[in-house]
Structure 1
Amino acid sequence: METSKVKQLNTNLIKAILKTMPGKTKADIADATGLSQATCNTILNELVSIGEVLELEREAFGGGRPAKRFMYNGDYGMVICLYISNDGKKPVLTYAVANLLGILKEERTIQKKSVDYSTIEELIGELVSKYKNVKSAAIGIPGVVIQRAIIDICDIESLVNCPMAEKLQDKFGIKASLENDMNLTSLGYYQQHSYAKDTSIVVINFLNDICPGSGIIINGKIISGYTNFAGEISYLPFGYNASSLKERKEIIDCVVKTICSISALINPETIMVTGGLITEDMIDEIRSGCINTIPERHMPNIIYQHNIHDYYIKGLTAMAFESLPDYLTIENLNNTKELLWLLT
């Protein structure tokens, strides 16, 4: 491997350590990464010089030996998290701006008469102008997204077939990624609750006057399927017009059949139920209906969540970070350290 690539891996290792363990000395960082103190010293000096890492006062972390300590500067960059929702009335844009440590700097919801690509571009443009160091934008779509770039099926017709990611990247020079709304919500839920890596969870969403959808996480990864169609539960052949469910009995019946189908196919640990058609007092009936079909020992935990906003934003933030060229988490830190050991 080229020397420059090895150095980049070393740099990413050090940044990953500092993002999760602020206030470490060069010796601490060398021990955590397996790099020499000389290598850490060179990289830290470079990161401090550009402002991506901050050198703390020697006494900032209490007593002990007065060695220099460092922390990652989250405000070195920002990511934009934006999602479009449509409850059968007017479309709504919700956005948040987070720094590179995931700390939210701004959050807002805007109701629009209509939404098309120009609406999204205008809002992204305003935020890029306001925050000069935007690194990426992650956008949630109520529909099918192909390769995190092109909108296929969508509840908002004006966005169908829009190559939004490419257009935004060309316009603003930042990485842009798109993903299905329920996929992002399920990812955010999974990460928020710190599930074990081999856990499977599903989020199902039943909204008023809109086809239901779901997001599937298996082993910590979004399951999109061969053509990104996985999770489109409105196409299950239950004999309902899923976008016009009204009566309580048929809503519960449809949810029960959906949960039973998902349980038989992937046997998830947890299924979270949400959406305007669902109320918390339905959950016991839904659970009882499922037990009539699925043996109780194989039943998932069925939970109700009224507001999924925080999970959605967390999923968007995770996708925005993942799109960055220096993305590295502590989870794959050991793999990177092993690779560097083999190369040196």
Structure 2
Amino acid sequence: MRQGTKSMVAQATGLSVATCRSILIDLLNAGELVELDMEESSGGRPAQIYKYNENYAYIVCLIVKAGISYHSITYGVVNLAGEAVEKGELHTETDQMNEGFIIKLIDSLIDNHPQIRAVGIGVPGAVHQGIINVSDIPNLVNVPLADSIRERHGVEVIVENDMNLTVYGLYQKQEYEDEESIIVATFIEGSLPGAGIMIDGHIHRGNTQFAGEIAFLPFGLSHDEQFRLLHNRNTFHSIAARAVSSLIAVMNPETLALTGTLVQPEDVEIIRKECLKYIPEMHMPQMRLLNDPDENYMFGLISMTLESLSYSLQLVEKRW
């Protein structure tokens, strides 16, 4: 609800009108709400209309990408309604993408937007307890990035795997009525494959957040051999189908989306037919091409960062 009266909030939440009045006053005093005009009276005392202040706090979201000739960061400063306040993209030499480069960008954004209260960072690699332990960007491996930013600026910080965020963004956009299981598998030029997994409406990260690192499946190939075969159109489909079949056999999803620069539209049906060599038809998921992975990626990062902030706004406000 962008706006409403205390009675409308009470009806929506199931709380008493008195409790809602107390909470609304607290939010108003904190600046998280603003008062609008009184509601038109239908005979009784007119009710006060409150509007949520979507600019009460901002978040900053950074997507760190590994490239062949350079690395990049796509960033956005977003308000509490998920609307972009500022956005941009930076490129750097592959050996220059490191903790210092990322922190310098965050410093600049927080200087320009002091109401930033949370930072979300998406990275290509496995992340455990805020630390990247496997990545296509070696300079970020084993770096306590989240702790460094948190201690420097006193904001909430999440660091999350790119594929987890992509599948989460896709799931949130679909607005499923029931909790479903979906997978996004990516095959990108210059990288080994990976996957994001949602099981019954929840991201499946695994014990050490290593789930989805399908490049480590026992293909009987070294990573160099796997890389070479995936980048050869004559062998791409069979290797991709073996990875996808493993995901289907273990996770049994409703939907499996393929994405990445190595995947062409006609590849979806070819890979599906290859999978039928291993998986019975009745257990095959709906297989589709994900045309807008970056849009889903950013949407997932914004959603997750806003959720991390929603539990801590009051504590953050006290610190500030």
TM-score by length of 1: 0.84
Determine the structure 2 residue equivalent to 1:150. Answer: 131
- Of 33, 42, 50 in structure 2, the residue corresponding to residue 53 of structure 1 is 33
Aligned-partner residue type, residue 33 of structure 2: V
Deviations 1:121-165 (A, max 9, x none): 001111111111111001011111012x11111110111100000
Determine the structure 1 residue equivalent to 2:296. Answer: 311
Deviation at 1:306, TM superposition (A): 3.5
Is it true that 1:135 corresponds to 2:117 in the alignment?
Answer: yes
Within a 5 Å distance, the mapping from 1:2-151 to structure 2 comes to 21-58=1-38, 66-113=46-93, 114-147=96-129, 149-151=130-132
Determine the structure 2 residue equivalent to 1:202. Answer: 183
- Of 241, 258, 282 in structure 2, the residue corresponding to residue 256 of structure 1 is 241
Alpha carbon RMSD of aligned pairs, Å? 1.9
User: Paired residues, what number?
Assistant: 305
Determine the structure 2 residue equivalent to 1:234. Answer: 215
Deviations 1:39-62 (A, max 9, x none): 222221222233211222236xx8
Determine the structure 2 residue equivalent to 1:340. Answer: none
Secondary structure of 1:234 counterpart: helix
Structure 2: 5+ residue stretches without partners: 314-320
Within a 5 Å distance, the mapping from 1:289-308 to structure 2 comes to 289-308=274-293
Is it true that 1:280 corresponds to 2:265 in the alignment?
Answer: yes
Determine the structure 2 residue equivalent to 1:243. Answer: 227
Q: Which runs of 4+ in 1 moved over 6 A?
A: none
Percent of residue pairs identical: 38
TM-score by length of 2: 0.90
Residue 246 to residue 32, structure 1, CA distance change in 2 (3 Å): closer
Deviations 1:204-243 (A, max 9, x none): 1111121111111112211111111110000112244333
Residue 203 to residue 101, structure 1, CA distance change in 2 (3 Å): same
Aligned-partner residue type, residue 299 of structure 1: M
Deviation at 1:63, TM superposition (A): 8.2
* Matches of 1:283 and 1:296, distance apart in 2: 15
Secondary structure of 1:226 counterpart: coil
* Matches of 2:77 and 2:235, distance apart in 1: 40
